[in-house]
Amino acid sequence: MELGWLVCGTAVLLLLHVLMELSPAVNFALRIGFYCVLCLVSSALAAAACLLVNGGRTVKNMRIIKAVVKTFKYFFGLRFEVKGLENFEVEGPAIIVSNHQSILDMMGLMEILPDNCVQVGKKELMYTGTVGLIIYLGGVIFINRKSTSSAKMVMAEVAKTMANENLKVWVYPEGTRNCTGDLLPFKKGAFHLAVQAQVPVIPVVYSSFTTFYNPKTKLFTSGKIKVEVLPPIETKGLTSDDVTDLTDRCFCTMRETLFRLSGRPSEAKDSS
Ligand SMILES: CCCCCCCCCCCCCCCCC(=O)SCCNC(=O)CCNC(=O)[C@H](O)C(C)(C)COP(=O)(O)OP(=O)(O)OC[C@H]1O[C@@H](n2cnc3c(N)ncnc32)[C@H](O)[C@@H]1OP(=O)(O)O
Ligand SMILES: CCCCCCCC/C=C\CCCCCCCC(=O)OC[C@@H](O)COP(=O)(O)O
């Protein structure tokens, strides 16, 4: 009986292996499927740990989430090479902005996430089962992207509470995932927030995933991701009139860094 199960199990694994070798689409679907299952199962376990240790929704839960998610890279053969972590060591609150390529970014995020840091996320993430629960417990700030006025109101509230709670806030200024190897134009919410709270903006750039991950061509192999935390950009004394300039400066610096980290230096020069 037990031998029967063993033979069946081995046969299924072999079949999956052959299918993965033969078809990039199957390989991609299985690896992404595994990532989602891993997120859902780990979130359920981490949620229990968060409730037991911290009792509810608090940024302190991010430490638990981080410890769990940092192990995921080993399942997918991903390596991170991080530079500039010392740039996170600013006095008090800050806004961190980074490029957003895929749902896989959660691994890159947790690889370097500083203490007392929450992210801004779309409200739809609340409805992703246990993942939604863990994101809620971690203190993520939910915004409704379909309503500019309500998103602005939430961001204005955050500007007020950041100082009291000594929070760093992580925003993806592209506003959506983009895996083209370039940046989408930045939305200004993060920069309004930084100016309203008079706190620095710390840009973070992840090298392009396109050499190992591409949903269009169903590519998903192992790979190396270079990460650079750039020096903080001060906003003391800036007003809402300076937000466009601040956004543009940050965009140019991050695009240049993205191309450099991804081995596309010549395009960086053409970008200004
Ligand atoms: C244990 C296992 C766990 C496994 C799972 C892992 C879990 C991990 C936990 C961590 C979770 C992380 C979650 C990450 C989620 C990532 C996302 O969801 S990304 C998508 C959501 N984020 C964003 O959209 C942020 C970026 N967007 C913005 O900043 C936008 O500006 C906006 C605030 C959302 C508003 O967008 P929109 O409605 O499109 O309007 P705009 O065109 O941007 O602006 C219009 C206009 O208004 C001005 N303006 C914008 N913001 C402000 C403001 N705060 N105050 C004043 N004015 C503002 C803006 O300047 C425009 O005016 P202008 O004249 O054109 O300049
Ligand atoms: C009971 C409901 C069950 C629902 C099951 C859903 C399964 C989802 C399971 C795992 C997914 C892991 C996702 C990790 C969190 C990723 C956050 C993220 O990257 O969000 C994308 C968002 O930034 C931008 O969204 P769009 O690019 O605009 O779109």
Distance 241 CA to ligand 1 centre (A): 19
Dump the DSSP string for 164-199.
HHT-EEEE-TT-S---SSSPPPPPSHHHHHHHHHT-
Probe residue for ligand 1, chosen from 54, 95, 152 as the CB with the greatest number of ligand atoms within 8 Å: 152
CB 234 within 8 A of CB 242: no
The pLDDT value recorded for residue 66 is 98
- Amino acid identity, position 91: E
Residue 213, classed as helix, strand or coil, is strand
* Ligand 1 contact via 106 beta carbon (within 6 Å): yes
Nearest C-alpha neighbor of 121 from the set 154, 159, 162, 87: 154
* Ligand 1 contact via 230 beta carbon (within 6 Å): no
Q: Is the four-CA dihedral 200, 81, 215, 118 of positive or negative sign?
A: negative
The pLDDT value recorded for residue 268 is 46
Name the domain count of the chain. 1
The pLDDT value recorded for residue 271 is 44
Which secondary-structure segment (H or E) carries 227? strand 223-229
Structure tokens, 214: 């591409």
User: Does the interface ipTM go beyond 0.90?
Assistant: yes
* Ligand 1 contact via 65 beta carbon (within 6 Å): yes
What CATH number does the domain containing 63 carry? 3.40.1130
Return per-residue pLDDT of the chain as tens, 272 residues.
677 888 888 887 877 676 666 678 888 999 999 999 999 999 999 999 999 999 999 999 999 999 999 999 999 999 999 999 999 999 899 999 999 999 999 999 999 999 999 999 999 999 999 999 999 999 999 999 999 999 999 999 999 899 899 999 999 999 999 999 999 999 999 999 999 999 999 999 999 999 999 999 999 999 999 999 999 999 999 999 999 999 999 999 999 999 999 998 655 444 44
* Ligand 2 contact via 126 beta carbon (within 6 Å): no
Identify the domain containing residue 129 by its residue range.
Answer: 2-270
- Amino acid identity, position 146: K
Probe residue for ligand 2, chosen from 31, 34, 35, 39 as the CB with the greatest number of ligand atoms within 8 Å: 39
